[in-house]
Amino acid sequence: MTKPAKKSTDLLIVFFYIFIAVLILCFVVVTLKIAFSPVCSADAQHVCVIDTWSIAGLTAAVFGIAAALLTFLGAFAVAYWWANLDQKVNAQVETRTNELIEQRVQDQEVKFQAQIESNVQAFETQIAQLETNFQAQIENNVKTLDTQIARLDGSFQFLRKEQVIAAMYFPVWEIEDWAHELLAVDPSSEVSVRMVINYLNEVDYFLPDPSKPSRLKTLRLMPEEDVLYYWNKALEWREIVKQQNIPAYIDSADWQINQRRPRVEAYEKQKAKELAQQ
């Protein structure tokens, strides 16, 4: 629908231009004819029968007709131009508006992209800072927790040691089952060494060390009256100490046993001699 109307408009404009050109050409031809060729013809006496004012009137008439036609064509052209003025203005306004809108959209898009990049960078910076602070806080908390765990472990080890020491005040044969249960829970406990020492203390009760002050013997209910029973018990616990494979425990148990071994061997020889005499 739009293309045929545009084509018709173009044909009318071409026709108007051709008509104006033809009119101007005719006007120029008439003007040149009047200027260079006589308007009147001579009579028999070779005298022009048309006076000067008639020629001036003819010239004015020709110019007037040309002016009228040009005025008419100009008015028609102006009317035609005004008829399409709203379309032209709308087209120009629409084009200019679209250009401005497109430019504004591009500007806003550039600003928006720049704002997004700035926000992303700021967000990444904040995230990195938060992550750093979080990692530092975690490390501090871990260090604090490790310190507290170490303190608790130290306190627990101290309490366990105190518990073992306190248990050693009871007769050694009464706490033997408890000592085995403790080793089952804590295989590295020093209760095994202390059991060796306590059984050797019972050996000292029967075979006191002459180099040390004598101990007061009190009346006690004992499972055996033979010193070799307590000696063999000490040797049994020494094997348990070896199974723990802790050098400090092994050295301590061996040293304690070696301190009593000469007296025990002397006792065994004396006992064997008494049995031989009987």
pLDDT, one tens digit per residue, over 168-213 is: 778 888 888 998 998 888 888 888 999 999 999 888 888 887 667 6
Q: What angle separates helix 85-167 from helix 52-83, to the nearest 10 degrees? A: 30
269 plus 196 within the same structural domain: yes
User: Rounded to two decimals, what is the model's pTM?
Assistant: 0.48
189 plus 261 within the same structural domain: yes
**Which domain covers residue 68, as residue numbers?**
11-40+47-84
Residue 10 has pLDDT above 80, yes or no: no
Q: Determine, yes or no, domain membership for 144.
A: yes
Domains contained in the chain, number: 3
20 plus 76 within the same structural domain: yes
56 plus 115 within the same structural domain: no
Write out the H or E segment, with its range, that includes residue 219: none
How far apart are alpha carbons 20 and 61 in whole angstroms?
Answer: 19
Report the residue count for the chain.
278
DSSP 190: T
Last residue of a domain, one of 109, 127, 162: 162
Q: Determine, yes or no, domain membership for 1.
A: no
Q: Determine, yes or no, domain membership for 222.
A: yes
Q: Determine, yes or no, domain membership for 267.
A: yes
Q: Which two tokens stand for residue 33?
A: 């004819």
Please give the residue that has the higher pLDDT: either 128 or 167. 128
Q: Determine, yes or no, domain membership for 92.
A: no
Quickly state the pLDDT bin for 44 (edges 50, 70, 90). Answer: very low
Last residue of a domain, one of 58, 84, 110: 84
186 plus 240 within the same structural domain: yes
Last residue of a domain, one of 147, 162, 177: 162
187 plus 130 within the same structural domain: no
User: CB of 69 within 8 A of CB of 19?
Assistant: no
Q: Determine, yes or no, domain membership for 102.
A: yes
